[in-house]
Amino acid sequence: MSDVIQLLPDHVANQIAAGEVVQRPASVIKELLENAIDAKAEQIQVVIKDAGKTLVQVVDDGVGMSLTDARMSFERHATSKIKAAEDLFSLKTKGFRGEALASIAAIAHVELKTRPEDEEVGTSIKIEGSEIISQDACVAPKGTSISVKNLFYNIPARRNFLKSDNVETRHIIDEFQRVALAHPQISFSLFHNGSELFQLPKTNHRQRITNIFGGKTNEKLVPVEEDTDILKISGFVGKPEFAKKSRGEQFFFVNDRYIKSPYLNHAVNAAFEGLLKEKTYPSYFLFLQVDPKSIDINIHPTKTEIKFDDEHALYAMLRSAIKHSLGQFNVAPVLDFERDSNLDTPYEYKNKEVETPKIEVDQNFNPFQSETNSYRSGASATSSYKKESAAWESLYSGMDNEPEDQGDLKQIEFESEEVTGSLFQNKEEESEKSTFQLHKKYIVSTLKSGILVIDQHRAHTRILYEELLKNITVTAAVSQQLLFPLKLQFNKHEVEMIKEIKESLEQTGFVFSELEEDSVEITGIPTLISESEVGMLLERLLSDMEHNIPDNGFSQTDLLAKSLANGMAVKSGTLLNNTEQQHIVNRLFACKEPSLSPSNRSVFVTLTVDELDKKFM
């Protein structure tokens, strides 16, 4: 039998490794940004074209690389971060495997320009599919610039799996924000197709959060601080009243590395127990510092999952720290029955100097003189009181005498306040017979052949979906004008998304007066929603758009109608009177597709008399 096992060529091994490290353009952004941070950069610039499919360029002012290091950086498992296995448990850098650049160079056209500070001439290297095309000396500023062009050019199947430009851009922005939040001491900028998306100066954590997520975010944050021998916690949580329907603003950082941890997320939710509305999620930006020996970050290729030595202790500390902060800043109620809020010392009094109270004495005080004056003033007050009482008592003079025309008043017949409703009695009786509500969730109606059970939320969603789709594509909907304009705060990316769908939203009844960088002013809303629901409805719409951005205009319109209909429809648990029940039933069966909701779920079920008879057999 001949031998069948053989070593893979380097370029094939690199392409396989790229499948783990590089999944999309956002993965390239993450790896290159982490390399720039490890190079001690103070200013990092990111440039992308066509959502990173055509170009991803990261420019930093770090320490740069020599000629030998520049060549070695593209070799597999070539790294300056570790030298022995023991170093894995004392890591303080972002990257350490030495696979990132080798994997990226295997599936793209890469151009590297770098120069250390102590050298006058830099190095330029061009690589295509793991093959070095050229290596030259060049003029370059201090630091490193890496351009990744035509990603997945030699793996068409992987390129076909990429989503639309909007989806890939969203992933790139997510990765950019995660790295920028963890390193406020570094200046970041992001450009897409020549337009600036972010310009983040050097600052602190709180200001960096505000710069990324909008100016109004600052007032929503509650600081969290805790320092123990095991764990140091810093950062912020959002106030419960600003909780969102999506999990977009939830960030954990362990030793300045972004991670995903459902276990720690549960600790945060436990701290907010009883403070959040149903199906809402708190915002948090938490930075945890632990001993590198107590964690293992080498369990996932993307290094977004970490294994902790003692998760239970971290859970308890995180939960108690957040609860303490919420109580300390009067966000959560404090369970102290003897506590008097008037005795609380304001925070601004912490460093205030103690002032000696001054005693003022009236040298001219004479107790006998004041007693005489008070006696006189009392006498005068009594006389004035009698005059005033006589004045208002005169208004009621003659009330004891019975008026002469009282007999005519007795003959007047007043209309009964009791509402009989006889005008609609027949119709009301018919509706009561035809429909009733079950558990505030289902509408039950009778049929000739049996009974009909309708899900009220799905039915109303189907009704609104077809109505909104008609308004967007055919005729504009009626809008109700607001007495005072409604101003909502969004971050820059969300405002750009609203601008893209502004015309479609106006067809549904929204009227926009201003669209600024971080806010939107609305002067008109659809007639089917109230002013208090507008902010939550738009947040849900933007969340749906972010997670399922369509490729063409019709899909965008369809998604817009689905999201708005779902947000505006009557919810399960809402009590409906007979008229409202009948209205939903009649409008449902006037729809083109009454049996299915916009998400292709059953709207109603029927039970025939024969099926009911079988139940009693």
What domain count does the chain have?
3
Which of 182-191, 425-434, 445-454, 583-592 has the least mean pLDDT?
Answer: 425-434
pLDDT band at 337 (very low <50, low <70, confident <90, very high): low
pLDDT band at 408 (very low <50, low <70, confident <90, very high): low
Residue 424 pLDDT > 70: no
Cβ(268)–Cβ(284) below 8 Å: yes
User: What is the C-alpha separation between 119 and 69, in angstroms, rounded?
Assistant: 14
Q: Both 511 and 525 in a single domain? A: yes
The CATH number covering residue 189 comes to: 3.30.565.10
And the tokens for 30? 């993450």
Looking at per-residue pLDDT, the higher value among 374 and 582 belongs to 582
- Domain membership of residue 223 (yes or no) is yes
Task: Find which of 247-256, 382-391, 492-501 is predicted with most confidence, using mean pLDDT.
Answer: 247-256
Tell me which of 132, 165, 200 is where a domain ends: 200
- Domain membership of residue 4 (yes or no) is no
pLDDT band at 497 (very low <50, low <70, confident <90, very high): confident
Which of 225-229, 313-317, 492-496 has the least mean pLDDT?
Answer: 492-496
Residue 450 pLDDT > 60: yes
Using a pLDDT cut of 70, give the percent of the chain over it. Answer: 77
Mean pLDDT over residues 458-485, rounded? 82
Q: Both 115 and 141 in a single domain? A: yes
Non-local CB neighbours of 180 within 8 Å, separated by 6+ positions: 186, 188, 198, 200, 208, 212
pLDDT of the residue at 232: 92
Cβ(451)–Cβ(445) below 8 Å: yes
Q: Both 317 and 214 in a single domain? A: yes
94: region left, alpha or beta (phi > 0 left; psi from -120 to 50 alpha)? alpha
Encode pLDDT of 435-448 as tens digits.
888 888 899 988 88
pLDDT of the residue at 345: 64
User: What is the C-alpha separation between 298 and 306, in angstroms, rounded?
Assistant: 8
Among 585, 589, 610, CA closest to 444: 585
Encode pLDDT of 75-108 as tens digits.
876 766 666 665 555 666 666 556 788 888 888 9
Among 316, 332, 321, CA closest to 284: 321
pLDDT of the residue at 184: 93
- Domain membership of residue 165 (yes or no) is yes
pLDDT band at 237 (very low <50, low <70, confident <90, very high): very high
Task: Find which of 182-186, 404-408, 531-535 is predicted with most confidence, using mean pLDDT.
Answer: 182-186
Q: Both 194 and 221 in a single domain? A: no
Q: Both 262 and 156 in a single domain? A: no
pLDDT of the residue at 146: 93
Among 315, 320, 238, 312, CA closest to 275: 238
Q: Both 295 and 323 in a single domain? A: yes
Encode pLDDT of 24-39 as tens digits.
899 899 989 988 998 8
Encode pLDDT of 190-234 as tens digits.
999 888 888 999 999 999 999 888 777 888 899 999 988 888 999
Q: Both 598 and 476 in a single domain? A: yes
Q: Both 311 and 292 in a single domain? A: yes
> 3-state DSSP call for residue 310?
coil
pLDDT of the residue at 88: 58
- Domain membership of residue 367 (yes or no) is no
Cβ neighbours of 456 (radius 10 Å): 26
User: What is the C-alpha separation between 400 and 112, in angstroms, rounded?
Assistant: 105
Q: What is the mean pLDDT of the chain?
A: 80
The CATH number covering residue 274 comes to: 3.30.230.10
pLDDT of the residue at 7: 79
Residue 282 pLDDT > 70: yes
The CATH number covering residue 448 comes to: 3.30.1370.100
Q: Both 112 and 212 in a single domain? A: no
- Domain membership of residue 563 (yes or no) is yes
pLDDT of the residue at 430: 46
User: What is the C-alpha separation between 600 and 134, in angstroms, rounded?
Assistant: 56
User: What is the C-alpha separation between 129 and 104, in angstroms, rounded?
Assistant: 9
- Domain membership of residue 324 (yes or no) is yes
Mean pLDDT over residues 135-163, rounded? 88
Task: Find which of 5-19, 177-191, 434-448 is predicted with most confidence, using mean pLDDT.
Answer: 177-191
Among 297, 295, 268, 300, CA closest to 283: 268
Instruction: Return the bridge partners of 606, or none.
Output: 452
- Give 543: exposed, middle or buried? Use CB within 10 Å, 0-12, 13-18, 19+: middle
Mean pLDDT over residues 240-244, rounded? 84
pLDDT of the residue at 429: 47
Tell me which of 200, 222, 250 is where a domain ends: 200
pLDDT of the residue at 428: 46
Among 263, 599, 292, CA closest to 457: 599
* Cα 505 off chain centre by: 21
Give the domain extent around 497.
Answer: 431-605
Residue 415 pLDDT > 60: no
Q: Both 46 and 154 in a single domain? A: yes
Tell me which of 296, 328, 360 is where a domain ends: 328
- Domain membership of residue 475 (yes or no) is yes
pLDDT band at 159 (very low <50, low <70, confident <90, very high): confident
Residue 284 pLDDT > 90: yes
Q: Both 157 and 274 in a single domain? A: no
pLDDT of the residue at 252: 92
Mean pLDDT over residues 119-129, rounded? 90
Q: Both 64 and 168 in a single domain? A: yes
Q: Rounded to two decimals, what is the model's pTM?
A: 0.67
H or E element, residue 558: helix 553-568
Which of 135-149, 168-182, 554-568 has the least mean pLDDT?
Answer: 554-568
Cβ neighbours of 589 (radius 10 Å): 13
- Domain membership of residue 270 (yes or no) is yes
Residue 399 pLDDT > 70: no
Residue 554 pLDDT > 60: no
Residue 395 pLDDT > 80: no
Mean pLDDT over residues 6-19, rounded? 69
Residue 425 pLDDT > 50: no
User: What is the C-alpha separation between 272 and 281, in angstroms, rounded?
Assistant: 9
User: What is the C-alpha separation between 278 and 61, in angstroms, rounded?
Assistant: 47
* Cα 90 off chain centre by: 34
Non-local CB neighbours of 511 within 8 Å, separated by 6+ positions: 479, 481, 522, 523, 524, 525
Pairing mode, if any, of strands 250-254 and 284-289? parallel
pLDDT of the residue at 47: 94
pLDDT band at 547 (very low <50, low <70, confident <90, very high): low
pLDDT of the residue at 58: 94
